[in-house]
Structure formats: C-alpha cells, structure tokens
Amino acid sequence: MEQQEILDLITEAIWITVQISTPIMLIGLVVGVLIALLQALTQVQEITLVFVPKILAIFVAIAVTLPSFALILIAFMERLADKIIGIG
C-alpha cells in the first residue's frame, strides 16, 4: 500500500467518525440547551435534570440511527478488506 492510500484511508475513517458522531452530538446539544433554558426560566437547579433527559435522548438517537451507521461502517470495512486482500 502506498503512503497516499494509507492517508486516504485515515481521512475516510475520520470523516466517517464525524458523520456518525454528528447527529448524536447535535441531539445531545439541543436537549442540553432546552433543559438549560427550562432551568433558567424556572430557576430549578437540579443536577439530574440535566443529565437524565440528555442521556435518554442520546440513547434513543443511537437506537434510531444505528442501522444507518451500521451500513456506513460495513461499506467502509468492505473497502478496507478489499484493499487488505489486494496486498496479499
């Protein structure tokens, strides 16, 4: 494998990581901002009020998006396996 091919694989792996993590992180961000707004409006400063809804929203988002993430990762692994087989 050439050095450029290795760099391309690393770049693709980083891009896939960003693709997979972005929707989950955005959902966590939105839920966190909504809860912070709710806390600011009601002046209820309960620490568990921040974490529990955010964790639940992230778990639901992962459960919903997991099939599409699996397809992306399977396609990447197939391309990577093809390159590995091409070497040997």
3-class SS at 2? coil
Helices within 1-88 (DSSP H only) = 3-42, 48-87
Average pLDDT of the segment spanning 31-39: 91
φ and ψ at 29, to 5 degrees? -65, -45
Report pTM: 0.78
Average pLDDT taken over every residue of the chain:
91
Q: Residue 40 above 90 pLDDT?
A: no
Say which DSSP state 43 is in. Answer: T
Domain boundaries, the chain: 3-87
Give 16's contacts (C-beta < 8 A, 6+ positions apart): 72, 73, 76
Report the distance separating Cα 54 and Cα 78, nearest Å.
34
Residue 14's pLDDT is: 97
